[in-house]
Structure 1
Amino acid sequence: MGPLGWLFDATLTVAGYDVLWREIVGNLFGLAAAVGGLRRRVWAWPVGVVGNVLLFTVFLGGVFHTPQQTDLYGQAGRQVFFVIVSVYGWVRWRGAQRAAAAGGDADAPAVVPRWAGRSGWLLIGSVAVVGTAACAAVFSALGSWGPWADAWIFVGSMLATYGMARGWIEFWLIWIAVDAVGVPLLLSAGYYPSAVLYAVYGAVVLYGFVVWWRARDTAAAADAVDERVPTA
């Protein structure tokens, strides 16, 4: 068995429960991506994609015959959309970083945080309500575990990832709402490493929200100073 085969099948026994190593590794990549997003670094996107690929196979427990044997279609499906949105965010942040480098600031963060505003919140609210209801109906038909909770985690995760790509500070708040639902769902379904990492994400997300908010205030103050400085 090669290293990839070992990673796919290897388990760790914790408190009498078999846990897949790829669930642990996938969530650690996700945590690293969250830290990279907090620091507004482009590498957060490809690192997150690696975790998404691993976790896709984890949450289809019945399909891939994992120890949990439980299919969370929302959790699995969101990994696919994570990859799609991550490519968008990767390209967007990379372009901003190149523009900053061309302007003489090679070490500038890839995005300047900003509030989503009224139009952004209208988009977030409408997609959250309509998307969750629609996905819950689909997941119920598929037999997903906890379809309503799974649907919100799916839709909320997409909104949060899109908000991160756009540089919206509110995306951190959406992640908090996702984590609040995700921890009990994953515990009830037996995905204990993911539940623990969700709780850790909660602390990182709260810190990230404060960091981005302060970065926005700093950028706004710098813009105000620039406007007051007379040009020659």
Structure 2
Amino acid sequence: MTQWLLQHWMELTGTVLSLIYLYFSVRENIWLWVTGFFSSLFYLIIFFHERLYADMGLQVYYLIISIYGWIVWTMGRQRSGRKKMPIRKTGIRKGLILLIAGGGIYLIVLLILLKLPAKIDIPASDLPYWDAFTTTGGIVATWMLAKKYLEHWLIWIIVDAVSSGMYLYKGLNITVLLYLVYTVVAVVGYYEWRQSMIKGEKL
């Protein structure tokens, strides 16, 4: 047992931090950005060793967006005069822009995954098409979270479900459980944020 813990301590730590991050996300707690930052740091190392390069690159993005999200939520709270930054709906126009941007990001990430490993003499990425899909979804959804758009939860439901299958294939069993929890909590998060937004509109 001790040997197993020593072997998997990084994945366990990242998982615990991710669960705290998830709880803070549902509760609209600004400290989600701090726990998210350190969780991403651990998973960046894990994904490098597992040759999931797009997911590894996504963790770098998460480190940056965590700082950005903290700033945006702090400023949004100050501007609104409320304890929490108000939740917003994406809208059709913004949704179409994000869909087009997501398609462009997907093609870029996929091209990088297919071409870059050979050029820099590292092993080829496993599951490049799915890896690019989850990476793109994560980029778009986390940006939407930073802006506090309600619909980011819907993207996470899909991304987390697909990610669970990827990590099962890679044998990252602890992470599989984490992402299954993510999928369920994303549904809960959407409902909780929707209720919070409705209450906020009545104020």
Same fold (TM over 0.5): yes
What is the identity, as a one-letter code, of the residue corresponding to 1:216?
M
Alignment-mate amino acid for residue 28 of structure 1: V
Aligned residues: 195
Corresponding residue for residue 167 of structure 1: 148
Q: Partner residue of 1:25?
A: 13
Q: Which amino acid aligns with 1:218?
A: K
Q: Tell me how far 1:99 sits from its aligned partner.
A: 4.2
Q: Distance in 2 between matches of 1:203 and 1:21?
A: 25
Match of 1:74 among 50, 54, 61: 54
Counterpart in 1 of 2:106?
Answer: 132
* Greater Cα shift, 114-123 or 170-179: 114-123
Runs of 5+ unmatched residues, structure 2: 118-123
**Displacement after TM superposition at 1:96 (Å):** 2.5
The reply to whether residue 48 of structure 1 matches residue 36 of structure 2 is yes
Shift of 1:207: 0.4
Which residue is 1:87 aligned to? 67
Tell me what 1:188 maps to.
169
Given the alignment, which residue of 4, 8, 26 partners 1:12? 4
Residue 218 of structure 1 corresponds to 199
Give the Cα–Cα distance (whole angstroms) in 2 for the partners of residues 177 and 19 of structure 1: 30
Query: Does the C-alpha gap of structure 1 residues 11 and 152 become closer, same or farther in structure 2, counting only changes over 3 Å?
Result: farther
Give the match's secondary structure for 1:140.
helix
Contact 1:128 1:152 in 2 (8 A): no
In the superposition, relative to structure 1, how do residues 36 and 132 fare at CA in structure 2: closer, same or farther (>3 Å)? same
Distance 1:211 1:186 in 2: 28
Structure 2 partner of 1:121: 95
Higher relative contact order (CA 8 A, sep 6+): 2
In our comparison, the structure showing a higher alpha carbon Rg is: 1
Cα distance in 1 for residues equivalent to 2:51 and 2:181: 23
Other-structure match for 1:36: 24
Corresponding residue SS for 2:4: strand
Give TM-score, length-normalised by structure 1: 0.79
1:173 positional shift: 0.5
RMSD across aligned positions (CA): 1.8
SS at 1:41 equivalent: coil
Q: Is the 8 A contact 1:11 1:21 kept in 2?
A: no
Which deviations, in whole Å up to 9, do the C-alpha atoms of 1:15-49 show, x marking residues without a partner? xxx95211121122112112111111111101110
Q: TM-score under structure 2 normalisation?
A: 0.89
**Matches of 1:50 and 1:145, distance apart in 2:** 25
* Bigger proportion of residues as helix: 2
